[in-house]
Structure 1
Amino acid sequence: MKPELPFPALLLAREAMATRFELVLPGRPTPSLRAAGEEALEEIVRLEQLLSLYRPSSEIAHVNARAAVEPVRVSPQVFAVLERARRWHEWTDGAFDITIAPLLRCWGFMGGEGAMPEDEAVEAARAVTGMQWVELDRRNMTVRFLKPGLMLDLGGIGKGYALDCAIEILREAGITQALLHGGTSSVHALGAPPDAEAWHLGIESHPLQPGGEKIPLAVVALKDQSMTVSTVWGKHFQQGGKTYGHIIDPRTGRPADAALVSAVMTASATDGDALATALIVDGKHHHARLSRCLPGMKTLVAWEAPEGGKLQVATFGIPLLPDVQAEVIGDSGGTRNEPAP
């Protein structure tokens, strides 16, 4: 269904990276506007051919198949993503890790909804996880694995990178107003819509229990910014009364259970994608430190209170809606009961 907009706009869409990318281009649907929009969406499709481990012909699939045997040369774009992923691995003390694929496979989240593995299988997968086993040679643009069994998965950063590249194509075409989103998790705003100062978007927490209602947390204004929202309940399964989500803590080898939802506003969707994942893993305990990794970032993390039945929220520059029923955790480690002004 096409959204109702209060201004004329060209709406385009493309399926890629296991989601639907939709582009809003305000203005009359001229041939030049359509051509720029189609080129931006085609760039996302092209990047999927480079970055997806599920594409047998992709550069990442080739790296996974050969890098334990010999250094594998990759394109500048793929190398740039790998370098940025390494930086985020360092900044987050390992909470973000693109070598997570063996653990995702172990827990049944690669192509499935998940299943409980044996402890021995988890430990075996952990043994072949870790960025310390990935050697990046910038001079030769090569990737080498220092241990057999490693596997890269750029699912936690690739969509954001694709958004950034697509938005850059629109900028180069002279477009100053656009909204591009990939599914419900990532969005990039170029300029503002007609007769408005920014694009306004909502942030919701998933329910405290499966089947419950989502909880509105905030409404943000985006202009020349991206926003990424990550949730622990994208893919999940239940066992023994507990929910296990698809975001794995690479340091423990087990599904992260610290946070329900995280949101990141930043200039780069690449950075927002990586940080939103790390905040699900570690945001409950290190929200303030992680939110200061780069200047200008705004973040929000929500989790269930220890006593259960209510939310606790930490925010860094994103004010909550006035009627949010949640305890707000201050960045200094203290608490306050009122939403941020």
Structure 2
Amino acid sequence: MNKPAVTLLFMVICFTACAQYKKYSFQQPKMGSPFNIVIYSVDSVAAENAALATFRMIDTLNEIYSDYLPNSELNNLCASSGTGKWVKVSKPLFAILQKARHCSEISFGSFDVTMSPVIRLWRTARREKRLPDKDSLNEAKKRVSYKYIEVDTGNRCIRLLKSGMQLDLGGIAKGETAQRAYARLCKLGFPYSLVDAGGDIVAGNVPPQVEGWKIAINLPETEELMNQQLLLRNKAVTTSGDLYQYLEVNGVRYSHIIDPTTGWALTNSRNVTVIADNGTDADWLTKACSILTISKALELIKKFPSAEVQIAVLENNTPRFYRSPGFKSYFKQLGDGGH
């Protein structure tokens, strides 16, 4: 006789609990970019404490992954290059380097974390508004190849074979960090969260009354947004393009993304958006798919059954879209549900 009343009471309690969730946003500069953490919580103080703890974890990862901090673990490893020594590294650094080497192997060499000697020449060129010297590029390329990274899984050691090697994790570390940050938030009891690591986004779960996280995508070479947004939950997404970081010489626009096979910056204006199960894959796949031909990029995405890609290309100043079959299923028209 009392079951309907008990069921109704349960429904009322659930509805009240769901209605108490509020969205809290936190931002700090990390890894050269603004890092945003958004948390749905019933407790603002607990949400803030969780965000602060996660930001501290991000600082720790930066001390491992950074190629800017002189005494980072990554730079200390690079100082051993060419000596023949195996270096025991931390679990996070070992995991990301092992992952990066695998990514290079399966992406036809289009993704390569050993590109730093070449990337640094292009950074200087962008500052000085000139093309890099070809002889300097050719010399730098001699120290570049993912095959120069050796991995000892049993002892968690890395050996860099060529003298003067310098690693740059810029194409994978922010996505990896965003994923680890979301995992930390979940461990602290906040699965209804989103982490935005300077555009590398891990969109976690959402409360019952929220349909998903709405993510906007800009068109190539402009801040103008597509008239559709992505609606995501428990997915990661990254978009790569040259909207802000590029060099223009003699009417040619050179991207900040460098082709490992040539050492030259890309000149094709593309925006590449990848949706994946984790931030690490979303991050590096955008870089690889920016470098590969469109057909090769779509072939690469097929190796990840749950990943999708959109490649937006300017053709006669009009964007044209190339997409994997499931990408459009994530679109939500503006004004529809989501946060």
Which segments of structure 1 move beyond 6 Å, counting only runs of 4 or more?
320-323
Paired residue total: 311
1:9 aligns with one of 23, 26, 34: 23
Per mean C-alpha deviation after superposition, the further-off stretch among 39-48 and 273-282 is 39-48
CA, structure 1 residues 113+77, in 2 after alignment: closer, same or farther (shift >3 Å)? farther
Higher relative contact order (CA 8 A, sep 6+): 2
**Which of 29, 32, 37 in structure 1 is aligned with 2:46?**
32
- Tell me the residue number matched to 1:310: 318
2:213 aligns with one of 171, 191, 199: 199
Q: Which residue of 1 aligns with 2:231?
A: 221
Deviation at 1:39, TM superposition (A): 1.4
Q: 1:115 Cα shift?
A: 3.5
Specify every segment of 5 or more residues in structure 2 that has no aligned partner in the other structure, as ranges: 1-20, 334-339
Q: Distance in 2 between matches of 1:244 and 1:217?
A: 27
Whole-Å Cα distance in 2 between the matches of residues 195 and 112 of structure 1?
A: 48
The offset of 1:289, in angstroms, is 0.6
Cα deviation for residue 68 of structure 1 reads 2.0
> How far did residue 194 of structure 1 move?
5.7
**Is the 2:125–2:132 contact (alpha carbons within 8 Å) kept by the matching residues of 1?**
no
CA contact (8 A) 2:220 2:312 kept: no
Aligned AA for 2:240?
S
Sequence identity (%): 26
- Select 1:127's aligned residue among 130, 142, 145: 142
What stretches of structure 1 of length at least 5 have no aligned partner?
A: 1-6, 324-341
Range moving further from structure 2, 288-297 or 268-277: 288-297
Aligned equivalents of 2:75 and 2:203: distance in 1?
Answer: 31
Query: What is the DSSP-based 3-state SS (H/G/I as helix, E as strand, rest coil) of the residue aligned with 2:327?
Result: coil
Residue aligning to 1:256: 266
Instruction: Report the Cα distance in structure 2 between the residues aligned to 1:187 and 1:115, rounded to whole angstroms.
Output: 33
Q: 1:144 offset after TM fit, Å?
A: 1.4
Which amino acid counterpart does residue 145 of structure 1 have in structure 2?
L
Query: Could you tell me which residue of structure 2 aligns to residue 68 of structure 1?
Result: 82
CA distance in 2, matches of 1:259, 1:285: 16
**In 2, Cα distance between the equivalents of 1:113 and 1:78?**
33
- 5 Å-filtered alignment, 1:181-330, equals 181-183=196-198, 185-193=199-207, 195-207=209-221, 214-216=224-226, 218-305=228-315, 308-316=316-324, 317-319=326-328
Change (3 A) 1:137 1:226: same
Match of 1:47 in 2: 61
AA in 1 matched with 2:115: I
- The structure-2 alpha-carbon separation of the partners of 1:161 and 1:96, relative to structure 1 and needing over 3 Å to count, comes to same
Could you say which residue in structure 1 is the equivalent of 2:14? none
TM-aligned CA distance change 1:101 to 1:277, over 3 Å: same
1:233-268 per-residue CA deviation (whole Å, 9 max, x = no partner) reads: 431111011011110001111012344211111111
Partners of 1:179 and 1:41 lie apart in 2 by: 13
DSSP-derived class of the 1:220 partner: strand
Structure-1 residue corresponding to 2:3: none
Asked if the contact 1:279/1:287 (under 8 Å) is kept, the reply is: yes
**TM-score, structure 1 normalization:** 0.85
Q: Tell me the CA shift for residue 112 of structure 1.
A: 4.2
User: Contact (CA 8 Å) 2:81, 2:162: kept in 1 or not?
Assistant: no
Q: Compared with structure 1, are the counterparts of its residues 236 and 84 closer, same or farther at alpha carbon in structure 2 (3 Å cutoff)?
A: same
Tell me which amino acid in the other structure corresponds to 1:50. Answer: I
Q: Which residue does 2:164 correspond to in 1?
A: 149
Question: Which is richer in helix?
Answer: 2
- Cα deviation for residue 286 of structure 1 reads 1.3
CA deviation after TM superposition for structure 1 residue 113, in Å: 7.2
Kindly indicate whether the alpha-carbon contact (under 8 Å) linking 2:220 and 2:313 is maintained by their aligned counterparts in 1: no
Offset at 1:42? 1.5
Classify 1:40/1:139 alpha carbon distance in 2 versus 1 (closer, same or farther; 3 Å). same
Deviation at 1:192, TM superposition (A): 1.9
User: Cα distance 1:189–1:73, how it changes in 2: closer, same or farther (>3 A)?
Assistant: same
Matched residue SS, 2:27: strand
